[in-house]
Amino acid sequence: MARIIITSMAALALLTLVACDGLAPQPDITGDWELELTDADHCLITLDLEQDGDELEGEADIECRIFFTYDGESYYYDLDARGVDVEGDFDLDRMDVEIEMEFYDDFFGETIEITLEGEVDEDEMTGDVEIFGDDWGEFEGQLD
């Protein structure tokens, strides 16, 4: 009889631990993020993210000064995109994030595709930037 009670108590303790572990708060990165491209003279991305489980969505404002050479002359263009749709995934176990943005730019006459891949550490985010699938630099930022 004592053996049954001890076994039952052990099983109850194990179930309690499993149940409590399931109630642990999940990381949430919902909010306003300010990210700066570290390899650019001036490039700021402001994200308004909403997290639902491991899915992200929201809007972005992008302000970047882009330098280029045309016909031997150097020029710059101030890219300014507001209200860009954002979609992404957040790996809750590894704290990795992938955020995709896509918008049409009149100056370049095409749809710009930007992907941010990085890591989240509480209220900070760092990682790599890809434009049209090519490495473009790194970013860092924080939750406001």
pLDDT score of 123: 94
Mean pLDDT, residues 78-107 taken together: 96
pLDDT score of 113: 96
Q: How far apart are CA 121 and CA 131, in angstroms?
A: 24
Q: Could you tell me the two tokens for 134?
A: 């090519």
pLDDT of residue 4 exceeding 70: no
Residue with tokens 């642990």: 24
Contacts of 1 (CB under 8 A, 6+ apart): none
Residues in the chain: 144
pLDDT score of 67: 86
Q: Which pLDDT band holds residue 25 (cuts at 50, 70, 90)?
A: low
Q: Which pLDDT band holds residue 109 (cuts at 50, 70, 90)?
A: very high
Q: Is the pTM of this model over 0.85?
A: no
Contacts of 91 (CB under 8 A, 6+ apart): 54, 97
DSSP structural state of residue 95? T
Residue with tokens 């760092």: 126
Mean pLDDT, residues 71-86 taken together: 95
Q: How far apart are CA 80 and CA 63, in angstroms?
A: 5
- 24 or 48: whose pLDDT is higher? 48
pLDDT score of 24: 54
Q: Could you tell me the two tokens for 123?
A: 């209220």
Calculate the average pLDDT of the chain.
Answer: 86
The percent of residues above 90 in pLDDT, for the chain, comes to: 69
